[in-house]
Structure 1
Amino acid sequence: MEQPILKNKHYEIEIIDLGAQGEGVGKIGEFTVFVPEAITGDVVEVRLIKVKKSYGYGKVMQIISPSPFRQDSKCAVAAKCGGCQIQHMKYQVQLDFKTKKVKDCIERIGGLKDIKVKDTLGMEVPYHYRNKAQYPIRKEEDSIQMGFFAQKSHRIVPSNKCSIQDPKNEQIMQIVTDFLNENHITIYNEETHKGLVRHLMIKTGYHTNEIMVCLVINGHKLSKADLLVAELRKVDGVSSILLNHQLAKTNVILGGETTLLYGKEYIIDKIGDLSFKISPLSFFQVNPLQTEVLYKKALEYAELTGEEIVWDAYCGIGTISLFLAQKAKKVYGVEIVPQAIENAKENAKLNGLTNVEFFTGKAEEIIPTLYKEEGIKADTIVVDPPRKGCDIYLLETLKDMAPQKIVYVSCDPATLARDLAYLVKEAGYTIGEVQPVDMFPHTTHVECCVSLKKN
């Protein structure tokens, strides 16, 4: 008689595959077990922590035989922190995993076969690539803790070292911690909504070495702020020190109001030959080296000759728009966030580009309105939607306008696959190729750039 699979019992399992979130997949007979922190080729002892009818989840108790694809994590708290899920995989294995993830989504969710998915483009040195960090600050007993949240929790994993953040962050974190301790500044409590200091945000100009330090507070003033400014100014590159005021009881990190303590209200960074102003509230890709790789691919897929009219839907602060404007006759960008459009206009001016125009609103409303009222018809449309993918009304707009080319930039393979299925099956487009780009090494996230042409 077959033995029942029991919760909390220990089993020896060989990991034979990887799941969509980078977790190991093994079998106990026909029973599937998902095991975080295990990879293909591992033989592990696991304790089952959740048991369903045909599958369960296990926790690694020991690695009996390590996979040849395994590497030691560079970060001491990688297994606890929620930032890096697959740092224990060799980098080429990470890239292969991401390529397969994109292929699987396109086939399984999109129902599209024989699509050319190229190998994921990785980094030469996949460490210390992030130009933005947001550290929650909490007080445990008499100790101030700063770090990142553990996976699926609001429990801080204290650490001032991170293998994917800029190394200067360590020095800044120590200065802020010492200031808070020495001056007895109160720390925010999520449950009671009492206390002052909530988060520390640091933004770094990868190519310019300019650093922004922003302390997020539950109030209007920070006492002895001049002492903090004096210490932070000793860090090479610090050119902007701000307070952000978040008074709401919310998980949203930043509030709408910011006070300048020192320097400028923004920093500058570059993508390729273009410069961009980065404010505390503006969105900017966190990996500028790979962003350039991604945008160059989008420009390649657009096949611009200098005569085209291009729409950039979900244009944000105009990063892709300005890239395209270097080669197009005219680029129109549309974004629903007013502040982002203001940043986009500033960035166009900063780079001396006059053949680009930006509109505030929903792409699915702005694009067809200007098409009908002013006859603005795009030869090429670029879409770079948020993780939820394109709004159905925008997809219908693309179908109606029927531009010759669409370039789809995606940060989520699942919603990308869903939208590609519509564009192919409903709107009459053919996919040229799909190029994954590793914007976030050591995580399960992958960006893609896709070329589509009208049949």
Structure 2
Amino acid sequence: VTFDESSLDKCLVGLSRHWLTDRLKSFLDEQGISYAVAKKKKGMTVGFVTFETVEQLRNAVEVLKENRSGGKQIKIADANRRSHQKLHAEGPVSNNGAATENSSDAAAPADGASGPEAAGASKRTVRDAVTPLAHMAYSDQLEHKKSSVAQLLKKLTRNAKKACPADVTLPDWISNAKQIGGLSCKLEGILESPVIDGYRNKCEFSVGHSLAGKKTVGFMLGNFREGVTAVEEPVDCPNVSAMSCKYAMIFQDFLQLSCLPAWNRVDNSGFWRQFTVREGRSPAQAVVAQDTQTQISEVMIIIQVCSTGVDEVLMKDEFAKLSKTLVQGAATCSPPLPLTTIVVQDHVGISNVAPADCPLIPLLAPEVDQSEEGAVDKTRIHDHISNLRFSLSPTAFFQVNTLAAERLYTLAGDWANLNSDTLLFDVCCGTGTIGLTLAHRVGMVVGIEMNESAVVDAQRNALINGIKNCRFVCGKG
């Protein structure tokens, strides 16, 4: 630990994940530890503390050496602010009256991590964090996946056997597991995906600051619960399409000139939170697996923001500039990028996972397809699976690798020996893709989903494709 007047921002490592800021402050007070600022978020094992003097810091180190919390040793580690946080603790104020992204009263590690995590995070790349097996040959990845699934199936058998009371006869599948190496069921193997590079048709990019303090659109270098908050560009991530990367960079360039701050995960402040790119393919019969990029005909951009405390006039002005930037950026690319709709999602929660009824603001809307029965909004794009056309709303769940989904659904139908007498239950049906793609092979499909908006989407997709032997119901109430 560095004892210096210029290094009084520290991390407390080894805290309970369940503690919040109030509990951390109570703990420090109970131990007689004086401090200036203390912060702690639930789910993290680290907290951030700023001391007023070196004497306070020395006292804290000595006290924590002697006293344990819950039998655990809590340690103090250095936590240098990022470069963009070193200017002033208060930071400048934007013309919306809120502190800008340079403002933070919580010490944040220079590389987005803290304590023991810091050294590892600084050496980790986005490719490591997002696609940890990318360094392996694809054939080796398949074998690794097969081995991992086999271990899970064995664990399921062991745990189920332990859970059965001694006076209860074991189920047949547990008794028969010995014949197949302890697996809870036979493992047929792992199939290759028809496309393995740039296959995601939906990429959700985080907005934050890089290790160097730059406003960045990309992926986090690790888990927030481990104290990692740094975001780096999606460079060399094989799962991300080239088109999504281009749009992310266009938005990132816009952020450098925006007067509104990027989201800060330490104190849950900021405006720009997340950037999502959804791609829709041309009809399936026209798709060539090796040339999927040229088959993208529709693109939806979703920008998640938090408008709390932001002047409405300023916000609308920023949205207008953003729309212009995205439209011009798409048009000037070579070849030009398709851009169908731009939607803003205004979300105030801590997590980026927004509720289904979160307000949506359309910035760019396509012409409504009058052929769709029940078309009620202008914020949709379309994708295709197995010659079926799916209408996708901004919040719709949909397969992220459509070519792999086609292969999987066909195989599932073959294995299940479907026929006209089959009643197919599609549990957690989402937008209805599984049920709809197999509907022609069964007598009736019943889809069940907890999300009401997803049920509406599934019903819409059944109408679009003229499929009448499907019923989708909401599982709530």
Q: CA deviation at 1:117?
A: 1.8
Larger helix proportion of the pair: 2
Change (3 A) 1:126 1:142: closer
Q: CA deviation at 1:295?
A: 0.9
> 1:136–1:156: 8 Å Cα contact kept in structure 2?
no
Larger strand proportion of the pair: 1
Q: CA deviation at 1:250?
A: 3.3
Change (3 A) 1:229 1:97: same
Change (3 A) 1:194 1:314: closer
* 2:362 match: 260
1:217 maps to 2:305: yes
* 1:150 match: 221
Change (3 A) 1:136 1:357: same
Question: Equivalents in 2 of 1:240, 1:103: separation in Å?
Answer: 43
Question: Equivalents in 2 of 1:195, 1:223: separation in Å?
Answer: 17
* 2:127 match: 78
Question: Equivalents in 1 of 2:463, 2:190: separation in Å?
Answer: 34
Q: CA deviation at 1:340?
A: 0.9
1:271 maps to 2:380: no
What is the RMSD of the two structures over their aligned residues, measured on CA atoms? 2.8
1:187 maps to 2:230: no
Change (3 A) 1:106 1:77: closer
Question: Equivalents in 2 of 1:138, 1:77: separation in Å?
Answer: 14
> 2:422–2:443: 8 Å Cα contact kept in structure 1?
yes
Indicate which of 222, 229, 232 corresponds to 2:323.
229
> 1:145–1:156: 8 Å Cα contact kept in structure 2?
no
> 1:133–1:203: 8 Å Cα contact kept in structure 2?
yes
Indicate which of 148, 151, 156 corresponds to 1:101.
148
1:200 maps to 2:301: no
Q: CA deviation at 1:124?
A: 4.6
> 2:126–2:221: 8 Å Cα contact kept in structure 1?
no
Q: CA deviation at 1:209?
A: 2.7
Based on CA coordinates, which of the two structures has the bigger radius of gyration? 2
1:129 maps to 2:199: yes
Q: CA deviation at 1:316?
A: 1.5
> 2:273–2:352: 8 Å Cα contact kept in structure 1?
no
Question: Equivalents in 2 of 1:249, 1:319: separation in Å?
Answer: 31
Q: Report the secondary structure of 2:317's partner residue.
A: coil
| 1:2-29 deviation digits (Å, cap 9, x = unpaired) | xxxxxxxxxxxxxxxxxxxxxxxxxxxx
* 1:435 match: none
Question: Equivalents in 1 of 2:343, 2:394: separation in Å?
Answer: 8
Q: Report the secondary structure of 1:145's partner residue.
A: strand
> 1:316–1:344: 8 Å Cα contact kept in structure 2?
yes
Q: Which amino acid aligns with 2:362?
A: L
Q: CA deviation at 1:330?
A: 1.4
* 1:284 match: 398
The one of the two structures with greater contact order (alpha-carbon pairs below 8 A, sep at least 6) is 1
Question: Equivalents in 2 of 1:191, 1:249: separation in Å?
Answer: 10
> 1:242–1:260: 8 Å Cα contact kept in structure 2?
yes
Q: Which amino acid aligns with 1:168?
A: M
Q: Report the secondary structure of 1:311's partner residue.
A: strand
Change (3 A) 1:135 1:222: farther
Q: List alignment gaps of at least 5 residues for structure 2.
A: 1-114, 159-176, 283-295, 331-336, 367-378
Question: Equivalents in 1 of 2:230, 2:406: separation in Å?
Answer: 33
Q: Report the secondary structure of 1:317's partner residue.
A: coil
Change (3 A) 1:157 1:247: closer
How many correspondences in the alignment?
293
> 1:243–1:258: 8 Å Cα contact kept in structure 2?
yes
Q: Report the secondary structure of 2:441's partner residue.
A: coil
* 2:293 match: none
TM-score (norm 1): 0.59
* 2:334 match: none
Question: Equivalents in 2 of 1:139, 1:88: separation in Å?
Answer: 26
Indicate which of 232, 235, 238 corresponds to 1:163.
238
* 1:324 match: 438
1:87 maps to 2:134: yes
Change (3 A) 1:222 1:85: farther
| 1:375-432 deviation digits (Å, cap 9, x = unpaired) | xxxxxxxxxxxxxxxxxxxxxxxxxxxxxxxxxxxxxxxxxxxxxxxxxxxxxxxxxx
> 1:99–1:118: 8 Å Cα contact kept in structure 2?
no
Question: How high is the sequence identity, in percent, across the aligned residues?
Answer: 26
Question: Equivalents in 1 of 2:416, 2:156: separation in Å?
Answer: 26
Q: CA deviation at 1:283?
A: 0.7
Question: Equivalents in 2 of 1:77, 1:308: separation in Å?
Answer: 45
* 1:120 match: 190
> 1:299–1:323: 8 Å Cα contact kept in structure 2?
no
Change (3 A) 1:143 1:101: closer
